[in-house]
Amino acid sequence: MASDRLQVLDHDPLVGTSLAALRDERTTPADFRRHAQRVGALLAAHATADIPTRAGLIRTPLADAPTVTRAVPVVAVPVLRAGLGLLPGVHEALPDAQVGMIGLERDAETLEARRYYFKVPPLEGAWVLVLEPMLATGGSASDAVRALDLSGAARIVVLSVVATEQGVRRVLDDDPRTHIVTAAVDPALDERGYIVPGLGDFGDRLFGTPH
Ligand code: URA
């Protein structure tokens, strides 16, 4: 499943520590949100590691120092509602990122995504980060990417916490420009569409709602 459009951060101990907490069934919603934020920041940092930069100079109290700063805008697009869990971390890493939102609901029978909300700023010249923590079948991430007008976007990256091979393949196959950065790729999907071992329902654990 190797692809130059897929980064799996399974050797990063900072990601691994927060992922362990997110997976742990005993983790409270407050701690779940804290670790989701941390993973969001780390995913955003990895996803933009090769973003175009601008070289400059800044005056320190002693002398001029060279600077390297981001040269292109970033738009973060959380897929409601689970994607909201990654947004504070993305903003920690990229405070000036604009935000769009896409609301998708999974049909319990077909497991396909239905779009109920869409508000996204212009994407001209931007790196677009689609925040979809659980890439199960890949249906919602793929639908979100399809819904965006990416004609002028410079790069599209799906940020995921736990993915499956099936989900990764679908997203990469459905759009040849899309990249994925994920903390883990798990082995299975159960009959209800949950990733196994996964971490359960990301939205419910994030917001403390009963499943
Ligand atoms: N969405 C979730 O929240 N969890 C899964 O395991 C799959 C989809």
Q: Does residue 1 lie in a domain region?
A: no
- Cα-to-centroid distance, 163 and ligand 1 (Å): 9
How far, in Å, CA of 77 to CA of 199, rounded?
Answer: 22
How far, in whole angstroms, is CA 69 from its chain's centroid? 22
Question: Which amino acid type is present at position 36?
Answer: A
pLDDT per residue as tens, the chain (211 positions): 789 999 999 999 999 999 999 999 999 999 999 999 999 999 999 999 999 999 999 999 999 999 999 999 999 999 999 999 999 999 999 999 999 999 988 777 776 678 899 999 999 999 999 999 999 999 999 999 999 988 899 999 999 999 999 999 999 999 999 999 999 999 999 999 999 999 999 999 999 998 7
Question: Which amino acid type is present at position 113?
Answer: A
Q: Does residue 68 lie in a domain region?
A: no
Rg (CA), the chain: 17
Q: Does residue 60 lie in a domain region?
A: no
- Cα-to-centroid distance, 58 and ligand 1 (Å): 45
- CB of 82 within 6 A of ligand 1: the answer is yes
pTM score of the predicted model: 0.94
- The residues, any chain, with a CB within 8 Å of residue 49's CB and separated by 6 or more, are none
The reported pLDDT for the residue numbered 111 is 64
The reported pLDDT for the residue numbered 122 is 94
User: Among 111, 88, 103, which residue's Cα sits nearest to residue 192?
Assistant: 111
Q: Domain containing 142 — which CATH number? A: 3.40.50.2020
Q: Does residue 32 lie in a domain region?
A: yes
Pocket probe mutation, ligand 1, options 158, 201, 211, max atoms within 8 Å of Cβ: 201
When divided into structural domains, the chain yields a total of 1
Q: Does residue 42 lie in a domain region?
A: yes
Place of tokens 């497991």: 111
